[in-house]
Structure 1
Amino acid sequence: MIIAIDGPAGAGKSTVARELSKRLNYKYLDTGAMYRAITFELINRKLEDSEDLEKVFKEIIDSIELDFVDGDIVLNGRILTKEIREPIIDKHVSKAASSKVVRSFLSSEQRKLAINSPNTILEGRDTTTVVCPDAQVKIFLTASLDERARRRYKELLKKDIKIDFEEVKRQIEKRDKSDTTREIGPLKVAEDAVVIDSTEKDVEWVVDKIFSLVRNKRKQLEYN
């Protein structure tokens, strides 16, 4: 079974997907981390302000290897955790997300990873509409802008990353606009997705709700 979770930045997709994967013993695939890893490489090469980003991204894609180990993204053999959650990545990740060459490459890679693993949970911003439109369970996880900004702000503080709350909120708002208006794979609710608003809800509540949906879907598949 493939479970796909879409939603805007800060909605809790990664946390929920990780916990759900543990409960179900499913493989966890953080598609957003793949875009962040490519953004990390872009910045590492000091090419984030290049006038021809499509050419730069093509060169990056042709020279890197991406993989996952225990849910963490691996770039050329290096596990990236905190590095891809830095504010500098937040600032530039929309460049990778809006790139035709990057989206085409990563969508294909993500689809292969999901198909090759019998039980997978994918989370990102186009997993239910582009990457795995045939997923058996589709979730659109959302929350209010203020709630998502607070979560992101607390996450950064725990990592000793100093940043103003209003700046975090502005970055998320900017990312929302970029995600919903981009030409390729814009963020939107799939027609058959279940919308879950996690505002003022804890992780356990959301995981329980999705777990119940998965259990019901399993029963339907067994009867069919």
Structure 2
Amino acid sequence: MAGEVVMRRRRNQVLPSTKFITMVTRTSRLDYDKLDMCPVCIDFADEAIEMLTELALDIGVLDSCQVLCDALASKTGSQILGVLCQIFCDIEGINEFVKILQKVDLDDIYFCELVKGCPVFDGGDAHITELTISPVSGPRGKREIDFTYMTKNGTGTGQIDIQVITVDKFPVDSRLFNKAGDPGNYSFKFILDTTGDCDPPCEEWQKGNYTLIASVCNGECGSKHPHSAIYDTRSVKFTITGDKN
């Protein structure tokens, strides 16, 4: 049955080559709750955290969520962001909500866990059972990545990180929001575009050996906040031999 994953550029990170990696399909043994507020909260956080932090500092003393959230709606021109702000702020109250915004290096997942928008589950696990890329060796062009992990206990709200260690060290990295999942098998298919068709500075996919690395994480991959861990990581190598004839 189809599951849901949202591919996104992460806030506060420079990922200039995210466009090279495209998710084609995701399949899972179990379906998700379509009414889950977690992906809604993640999208809200991605759009609003920095602006809310600035507004809280500019306004100073805040006696209600409405003052802060009305200011957000006014500054962004989005009533939807204002409404979502009100929902998540009311859960914690204005004082606690502002304290959450003031946390150092606050990431979207940790924020949503703190405002009860996403579930917390620290007893999860994941083991990557398949990571392949095809063709393994060949000229520049599109390559297919197949990726599967299994979990015995389920997973917490987290990410899947796909990155490539390139010949010229130009960063190619794509992180996908991964909703908390039940025990089962989860499979993905990606397309890695190594045609080199881009305007510099960008990855030009020179001849040579490359390493593809996939990680499954609880919380944001690499985060130092609570409820964050790397469940598993696996890598494969591939070679670009040059241009197509």
Higher strand share: 2
Higher helix share: 1
The structure whose RCO (Cα within 8 Å, separation 6+) is larger is: 1
TM-score normalised by L of structure 1:
0.29
